[in-house]
Structure 1
């Protein structure tokens, strides 16, 4: 049981950091919110990948990172944080 929880925390941290890295602009949030964002992205990405029938682990990670980026944008819009847009 703890392997699954620890895996989600570590995987969530990696996915959250990658989402913040790939999304342009400043993302002022702490490491706990980054991990939570990554965990939610992993859960959402895994669900979407399952619905699409994707079994390739790399593609599932890419979907999870994209889901985390979308969640990051939504978080910034809801929390009132400024979203930097190019242009």
Structure 2
């Protein structure tokens, strides 16, 4: 159980950091929020993978994705969050 939590945090940090690099504009979010975006992105990536490929039905509809799926899901989550939060994005 501890290994699962640690791996979720590590994958969340990696996926969230890469998503922040790939998303346009500046995001003023903390490291814990970056990890949370990555973790939520992992589940969004797993959900999108389930919808697209219809695999791993025994794991259920919500499942964690691999690192590529996690990054894609984190980019989606970050874009939705920045668009709906009402914050303005500063362009560099």
Find the counterpart in structure 1 of residue 42 from structure 2. 42
SS of aligned partner of 2:82: helix
**Cα shift at 1:65:** 1.1
Take 1:79 and 1:26, find their aligned partners in 2: how far apart are those partners?
14
Q: Is 1:12 matched up with 2:15? A: no
* TM-score normalised by the chain length of structure 2: 0.75
Q: Which runs of 5+ in 1 are unaligned?
A: none
Contact 2:11 2:67 survives alignment (8 Å):
no
Runs of 4+ in 1 over 3 A off after TM superposition: none
Aligned pair count reads 82
**Cα shift at 1:80:** 1.2
RMSD of aligned alpha carbons:
2.3
Q: Which runs of 5+ in 2 are unaligned?
A: 57-64
Take 1:18 and 1:54, find their aligned partners in 2: how far apart are those partners?
26
Instruction: Note the alpha carbon deviations across 1:29-50, whole angstroms, 9 max, x for none.
Output: 1111100000000111123224
Higher helix share: 1
Find the counterpart in structure 2 of residue 70 from structure 1. 76
Contact 2:45 2:70 survives alignment (8 Å):
yes
Take 1:39 and 1:49, find their aligned partners in 2: how far apart are those partners?
15
